[in-house]
Chains A and B, each alone.
Chain A
């Protein structure tokens, strides 16, 4: 690849993330504040400020395949502390969506769980905790891993057992379908 083409490719990644997240990533001046306050930094293969740096450098693959974007807890500490008003957590969220779409996500457990969670809301209007967890465990074949915890919680009446449906289930399903349709049109 020619030097010029490489440069274009790099700029494209920054533009892509800037456009999709609507965050001004180019204003990052590498102050480390996001990383300093991050409760997950020690378990990240790439620290948050480095993720920002790699976006600027156009390192598409490195960023999208990182485990870091999945380790994030969405606690917003980084976003609140960034002196340049970058919503770092939302950038991470944006990166996850692209990693999933491109099929390069390093860890899609969390995504699977979010998907099942949303499925529950779409069908019942509310979260059906136990069904969602059981589905997740079955799909991951982890059924027995946390069963002891589940039983103890149920005994203490801490786990929702009954499905909690809303009355107007058609409305909530309609909301999902309209948005899904809109998304597939863009």
Chain B
């Protein structure tokens, strides 16, 4: 049984608790053990780097340091946290000066960048395998068409090698296909949803997220599928933020797999745009 250190990040413990449940459910199904990093702390998100470069490395490094003592590679489902953790990890590994500065700040802990940081898509492509997903299908999703929405930061980690193509990633498309749903190709895979402006500038988020929702509808999608908790929240919040037009459900990638293997979505009731219509389209395989 593969074991991974699991970094949930703040949003999977607050507004996206049902994403964590879905991740745990699916991992358990594929015999992957996720061990939550002991006493993990916030990665600093965009706030730390807004104020200070060193703080933006030290906050993720505190978690990397704890994970290093535990000795497993790290899985980080939130793309924003993934980016912070991975950039810090790889910079510290190659930049001795930065490593010393950071370790000074986080003493008595110390971080050497000796582990790998993986995202939720890599959990499936590297630790489960596309064939195994395809072989585990119990429910037929072939009448459900979705648009894959990766969100803006997952492959746009600056100056480190992206895990997939920067502008046109396909790794999540392959997972969705393996789960049996049909993937509609579109240009908005990486568009920004308005990210952190939901609180300070709601109109911006409303405008950018609406544009994505409109395009998904125009493409004839039944749902939008994303790995990102912020994107899911912003798009799912559209009706509450004041969007008057129709919205389609916004699923996490793990929820698509849940449907294919269990025929249900465990956190279905936490969705603001109801998912019942989707479930009705599903058939026994």
A, B from the same assembly = yes
Closest CB in chain B relative to A21 CB, distance in Å:
10
Interface size class of A (residues with CB under 8 A): 35 or more
Question: Do A77 and B270 touch across chains, with their CB atoms under 8 A apart?
Answer: no
B166 at the interface (CB under 8 A from A): yes
Closest CB in chain A relative to B124 CB, distance in Å:
24
A106 at the interface (CB under 8 A from B): no
Question: Do B45 and A117 touch across chains, with their CB atoms under 8 A apart?
Answer: yes
- Docked Cα-Cα span, A96 to B44, in Å, equals 17
Q: How many A-B residue pairs have CB under 8 A?
A: 149
Interface size, chain B (Cβ < 8 Å): 58
Contact pattern, B 212-253, Cβ under 8 Å of A = 1, otherwise 0: 000000000000000000000100010011000000000000
- Find the A residue at minimum CB distance from B191: A39
- Docked Cα-Cα span, A16 to B12, in Å, equals 39
Majority secondary structure of chain A interface residues (helix, strand, loop or mixed): helix
Question: Do A127 and B10 touch across chains, with their CB atoms under 8 A apart?
Answer: yes
B185 at the interface (CB under 8 A from A): no
A143 at the interface (CB under 8 A from B): no
Question: Do A75 and B158 touch across chains, with their CB atoms under 8 A apart?
Answer: no
Binding site for B on A (CB under 8 A): 39-40, 43, 71, 73-77, 79-80, 87, 89-90, 93, 96-97, 109-111, 113-115, 117-118, 121, 125-127, 129, 133, 136, 146, 148-149, 152-153, 156-160, 164, 166-168, 171-172, 175-176, 178-179, 182-183
A sample of 16 cross-chain residue pairs with beta-carbon separation below 8 angstroms, ordered by A number, consists of A73-B192, A77-B152, A87-B159, A89-B158, A90-B158, A97-B50, A109-B201, A118-B51, A121-B41, A125-B42, A129-B10, A133-B199, A157-B18, A160-B14, A172-B62, A182-B105
Binding site for A on B (CB under 8 A): 10, 13-18, 39-42, 44-52, 54-55, 58-59, 62, 104-106, 109, 152-153, 156-159, 166-167, 190-192, 194-197, 199-202, 204, 208, 233, 237, 240-241, 269-272
A-B complex: 9 closest residue pairs judged by Cβ atoms: A160-B14, A127-B10, A114-B47, A75-B192, A75-B152, A125-B41, A76-B156, A117-B47, A114-B50
